[in-house]
Structure 1
Amino acid sequence: MANPVRPGEKTLDFDPGDRAEAGLTFIGRIRTPWSRGDCPKNIRLARDSGQPAHIEMDTAYLDGLTGLEPGRALILIYWMDRARRDLILQSPGHVNGPRGTFAIRSPNRPNTLALSTVVLTGIDPATGRLDIDAIDCFDQTPLVDLRPWLPTIDVPPALQDKLG
C-alpha cells in the first residue's frame, strides 16, 4: 500500500482489489488530451477548458449504440484505472480538514468507478466513435457503461420543481 500523501489521510490495511466480488468488462476507452498533472479536477473545469473528447467503443458493442443521437445527455460510468484504491480518509485541497472517501467526489476510492454526465456531440455508429463535449479523466480511461440521462429519472423529485 502507498503511504498517505497529505496530513490527516488514512489508508485501508488491505487492497480492495483483492476482495473482488464481481467481474466487469470494459466496453470502450475514453480518449482525452489529459494525463497526470494536467487533468481537470471535475467536469465543470473540463468544459471550461474547451477541450473536447471522444469514446472509442469496442466493436462488439456497436449495436448497443442504436437510437443514440447527437445532443443527447449521457451518463458515463468509467474505471479510474490509475487512481488509488487504499485511501479511506482524504484531505482534499479545496476543503478544511479530512473527509471520508464517500463524502467527496475524489477518484481515489475502494472501487475506482467514476461517473459524469456529458453531451453527445457526434456519433459514428459504424466505427463506434462517440464525440462528447468534455470529460475529466486521463486518456485511455476504460469505459464501463453509458446510459441516457433522463430528467424525470436522474433529477431528484425535490429538485425537479425548482428546475421547472
Structure 2
Amino acid sequence: MTGRRPGEIALPFDPGTRIEAGLTFIGHVRSPWAKGTAPKNLRAARETGQGARIELRPGYAAGLAGLEVGQAIQMLYWVDRGERDLVLQAPLHGSGLRGVFALRSPVRPNPIALGTVVITSLDREAGVIGIDATDAWDGTPVLDLKPWIDTVDVPPGWRPGG
C-alpha cells in the first residue's frame, strides 16, 4: 500500500477477500493512459482531446444493437490496478476528510468506476466502440454498458449547482 495522507483510515481487512458475487468482463478499454499519465477524471480526460475505445470480448458484439454514434452511454469499469482499502480519504481537491462513498476516488472497496461517455464510432461486427474520452488506463476491464437516458438518469427537478 502506498503512503497515506494525514487522517486517512484504511479498512481492517482486504475487501478482495470478501467476494460474494461473480462478475465477467465484457471487454477492455483501449486508451493512451497508464499509471502516472492518466487524467484525474473524465472532465480532465475530455480536455486532452484524446479519444479511446472499448473492445468487446467475443460473443458480446450483438449487444451493441440499438446503439448509435453520438449517443451517450454509461460505462462501468473495474479499476483492476487500484487500491481498495481506504474508507476515509483526504482528497487533494478538497479540504478535510471524506468518506469513500462521498468521493469519486478509484480507491474503494469495490473498484467499480462509472463514466458517461459519448459514442464516436461504432463497429458492430468487430465489437468496437469509439468513445470521446476516458480516464481509465489502457487494458482496464469493462463490466457493463448502459444507455444514458435523461428521463431516467437525471433526478426530477435537479438543476446544476443545487
Question: TM-score category by the smaller chain?
Answer: over 0.9
* Identity %, equivalent residues: 54
Q: Which has the higher helix share?
A: 1
> Is the alpha carbon distance of 1:3 and 1:120 closer, same or farther for their aligned partners in structure 2, counting shifts above 3 Å?
closer
Query: Quick one: which amino acid aligns to residue 88 of structure 1?
Result: V
Instruction: Identify the residue that residue 13 of structure 1 maps to in structure 2.
Output: 12
- Spell out, residue by residue over 1:115-163, the C-alpha distance to the aligned partner (whole angstroms, 9 max, x if none): 0100001000111110000011111000000000000000000127x8x
Return 5+ residue gaps in structure 1 as ranges. Answer: none
**Is 1:156 paired with 2:150?**
no
Correspondence 1:66-105 to 2 at 5 A = 66-105=65-104
State the Cα distance separating 1:3 from its structure 2 match: 5.6
* DSSP 3-state at the match of 2:60: helix
Return 5+ residue gaps in structure 2 as ranges. Answer: none
Q: TM-score, normalised by structure 1?
A: 0.94
Instruction: Identify the residue that residue 113 of structure 1 maps to in structure 2.
Output: 112
- Spell out, residue by residue over 1:7-39, the C-alpha distance to the aligned partner (whole angstroms, 9 max, x if none): 111111101011111000000000110011111
Separation of aligned partners in 2, 1:138 and 1:5: 22
State the Cα distance separating 1:5 from its structure 2 match: 2.1
Number of equivalent positions: 160
Correspondence 1:9-88 to 2 at 5 A = 9-88=8-87
Instruction: Identify the residue that residue 127 of structure 1 maps to in structure 2.
Output: 126
State the Cα distance separating 1:4 from its structure 2 match: 4.5
RMSD: 1.2
* DSSP 3-state at the match of 1:126: coil
Instruction: Identify the residue that residue 141 of structure 1 maps to in structure 2.
Output: 140
Q: TM-score, normalised by structure 2?
A: 0.95
* DSSP 3-state at the match of 1:71: coil
State the Cα distance separating 1:41 from its structure 2 match: 0.8
